[in-house]
Every structure is written in C-alpha cells, then in structure tokens.
Amino acid sequence: MAIVAGVDFGTLSVRVTLLDSERGRLGTAAAEYPLKRLRDDPDYATQSHADQMRALVSATRKVLAESKVSGDEVVSIALDTTGSSVIPVDAALEPLDDYYLWCDHRAHEEARRITELALRENLEAIHWCGDVYSHEWGFAKLLHWLRHNPEKRRRFATALEHCDMVAATLTGVTDPGKVKRSICAMGHKWMWNPKWSGLPPQEFLSKVDPLFDGIREKIGGEYLTSDAIAGTLSERWAAEMGLKAGISIPVGAFDAHWDAIGAGCREGDVVNVVGTSTCIIAMAKKTELVPGVCGVVPGSVHPDYTGIEAGLSATGDIFEAIARRAGVKVSDLAKGLENYRAGQTGLLRLAWDNGDRTVLVNPELGGVTFGWNLIHTAQDELYAAIEGTAFHTRIILERMAEYGVPVERVINAGGIPQSNEVLNQIYADVLGKPVLVPNGTPVSLGSGIFALLAAGAFKTIEEAQEAVCLPYRMYTPRPEAVAVYNQLYPLYRKVYFALGRPKSEAVALGMLLPELRRIAAGARA
C-alpha cells in the first residue's frame, strides 16, 4: 500500500488529492488564489507564484486533516498545472514578475512575428504546431515581457512554465541550469522536439528579435518525460505542507494531458477534456505530423507514446455567454434540452467565439449562426451550440485519423460532461461512436498516477490506471440522430472551411438555409 498526493493547479484554485494504491481516492481539498485582471486591458491575466504556493500549503494541510492521514504516510507528490503560464525569474529562480497565465493574450504582436518569420524561413517546428505560433505560448509571452520590462532585463536569467516552476520551488532548486523541464510543457508551447535537436535554432530566435540573443542557452536544463524524477521535497516545504522531507516529485505536466491519463486514456483513445474550452488529447506509437493541431510531441502525455494535442478555443464559455445574454444560468437554460431532437432547431452554429484552435488555427474568427428566424430562442441556440462543438470535434478527429492517429474510443472528461448528459449524447450521435464518461471526476487522478509510479507502487502507467481509474458510463449513438447529423455534418464542414480560411476557394452556399429548414422539418415531424 502506498499513499501519494496528486496536485492540480487550475486557473483559480489548486486541488490536492490523496490517493491510496489499493483503496483509491481518500480525499480532496482545494484552496483559491486571486486572478489579476485589468479593467482597461481585457488581455491581461496574471497570478502570483507566492499566492499559489500559499494555496498549495493550505489545500495540502486541509486534505490531510479531513482524510485523517498523517503527512508522514505520504510517499510521493506529483503536480500538473495550466499550460502556457510563464514566469520570468532571476539567477536564483526568484520571480521577476507574476505568471503570464494561459488566458493572458497580450502577446499578439510577438506571436505574429514568430509565425511570419517561421513560415518565411520554412522552420520545421512551425508545421508541427499547426503553422501558427499562438499568442498564448512561451516564446511570445517571454518576448512581450522582455520588450515591456527593460528595467528588469539585466536580472533576467530564464523563464519557466508553471509546472516546472512549482517543482523547482518544492525541490529547492535555485540554479537555472539544474532545472528539470517538462517535455510536455516545452514540447507543446516552446516548439521543443528531438526531431530538430530540441528548441528552434538560436539563429532563428535572434532574427525574431535581438532581445532573444542567447535565449536558447538560457532556456536550458534537462528536458524529461514524467516518468523521471524532478527532485525530492525540501525540508522547508515539507515543514510548510505537513509532509515528510525527501519524498519524490516526478517531472510535472499540463492538466489536460494528465487528466487524459486519469481518465484512462490509452492508444486508440481520444479524450475530450471539456470545460471552458476543450483540450483534445490522443496518443500514438509513431511520430507523425498532423497539420492543424496544436502539437505533436514524443512523450508529452505518456512517456512511451507521441502525444497529440488539439482543441476548441471555446466550449463552456460559449454556453455561458448564450445564457448570460438571456439573463439566466446555463443550468436553467438547459432544462428541457433532453426533449430536443437532432437538427430540430434549424440552426447551424460555428463555435468560433474565441477563434479556432484546431484545425484552421485562426484566432481572428468569430462565432457564426445560420438559420435564424423570428421565433428562435436562446435555448435553441444553446442546443445548436452543443451540436456545433460536436461537429467541430468531428472535424478534428477526422484530421487525426487521416494522419495515422488511431481513433477507436472517445472519452469525455472535464467538468461539463459530468453534469451534461445532453452534451454527451449529442457527441455520441455526431461522432457516430460510443462516448465514455468517467463515473466521477478524474481531475488530479492523473497526477496521482504519476506520483504512484514515482513511489514505485506500480511498474507501468497502465497498471496504475487499472487500479485507480474510475469506471465509465456509456452513451451509445442513436441511429435516428446519427442519420440526421450525417446530413448536417457535410453542411457544417463546407461552411467551416469556406468561411474559416482567408483564401478559400469559392463555394456555393445557396442550398445551406433551405437544407437546414428541410432537415429541421423532418426532425420535428
């Protein structure tokens, strides 16, 4: 028997779960920290490292007390965090500023510069992240910080992703050259890949901006998968957290990637982590370029497989926006959606409200709804939005399958599938595949699994998954709904590519609205 702690840092809080190798989850506790926003700058979103560490201490002590587990019994601790949350530090690994959170979108110009230059020079790395470098990602955020903080540049030593910063803090690392960096983090957000010997060449980075001179060396340290050990818990943080010093801490990763492991993901599975946005995670034995996805990185999800990350830029926040405009809560607006039939609204909704993450990789797009008439309601739009996110997911899964990623099972994880049966059923009907949903939240189970591996409780990830992952409930495709969605999907696909690509070829769309009306009339008959 081994007891470990799995830590999950989210946007507003940290969750700590105690996991027993034989008894499963023993307890979970959370603690919040403030998100810093500016009223006059909607792109601004930062967070204090100190605030996060105080919350980690609080949540750890709380779960130990509530579970009646002694800190001396915990033999390992593993952590996942949000991705694209970047912090600049000095030579002693002390923060020079707050984290640029994943939802900080100030680095538009910097990302545009990286993308344009990479495409012009045919940089191989850019093709492996969808031909667009995001304003959310590491190099863009770091360049923005360097440009806007000239008084701090002299003290700048390196920048760290959230998961690597927390691990370095807990293990007492103070030398930038001794940092253990997550391949998951650096592969998906900093264009690291062994295929081109790690990070992009220094020559390219210097061309982006002279402020990047020498940056490749500064973003140094070891790059490791999560079966490696980042270090052991220091005396200081053991005392703070109420744990035993010297316990192992594996190299961390991003929350969605470990959520996929916690949801039971294996080769052939695609996990939709559905929340505010959707992160789509898959694994494959071979490393293959998949055009239009966020990243293809060996070892990023499972050390023995290539991790493939895709996603939707907006999901739950679309539902929230529709409800907000209607002056009600999503839960209230959703009452009665179970009585809707596939395609009955006559609406076709493109889920581009926050741009397109995959496969167009175009942040400039906006939401589009076809088929409005004078009697449509906000509830109709909500149902059509759920259908639209499912159609978009189908486009992504088809793109993955086209380039050799096995898509055999679909697992819906994240917060929304736990409470939205309508969404799960629509996804099964649109995708034409059974959709599995963990019977309970798998959040922090992934970090618990890697903590169990670090403690030696299990030899493989698969063995740990068998022991601690939750059973599934299944949503089976309904033949009558599948038939309707197989009529709607070609329409969705046509307008998706016609409107989403600036230089798309001319496409005849005159039959779109009559077809939507015809399908809706048939659904209501």
Domain boundaries, the chain: 3-254, 265-412+483-525
pTM to 2 decimals? 0.92
| 359: confidence class by pLDDT, cuts 50, 70, 90 | very high
pLDDT above 70 covers a percentage of the chain that reads 100
Contact 225, 251 (CB under 8 A): yes
One fold for 3-254 and 265-412+483-525: yes
Nearest Cα neighbor of 321 from 254, 389, 372, 373 is 389
**Mean pLDDT, rounded, for 370-388:** 98
Contact 96, 152 (CB under 8 A): yes
**Mean pLDDT, rounded, for 11-21:** 95
Q: 501-524, pLDDT tens digit by residue?
A: 988 888 899 999 999 999 999 998
pLDDT at position 50 is: 98
Whether the pLDDT of residue 287 is over 80: the answer is no
Nearest Cα neighbor of 472 from 425, 437, 508 is 437
Tell me how far CA of residue 341 lies from CA of 444, 482, 485, in angstroms.
36, 11, 11
Whole-number average pLDDT of the chain: 95
Task: Sort 390 into a burial class: Cβ within 10 Å, 0-12 / 13-18 / 19+.
Answer: buried
**CATH class of the 265-412+483-525 domain in this structure:** alpha beta
Where does 3-254 sit in CATH, by number?
3.30.420.40
Whether the pLDDT of residue 363 is over 90: the answer is no
Residue 8 in tokens: 């999950």
Task: Sort 450 into a burial class: Cβ within 10 Å, 0-12 / 13-18 / 19+.
Answer: buried
Q: Lowest mean pLDDT of 98-102, 224-228, 414-418, name the range.
A: 414-418
Whether the pLDDT of residue 461 is over 90: the answer is yes
pLDDT at position 1 is: 80
**Mean pLDDT, rounded, for 424-435:** 97
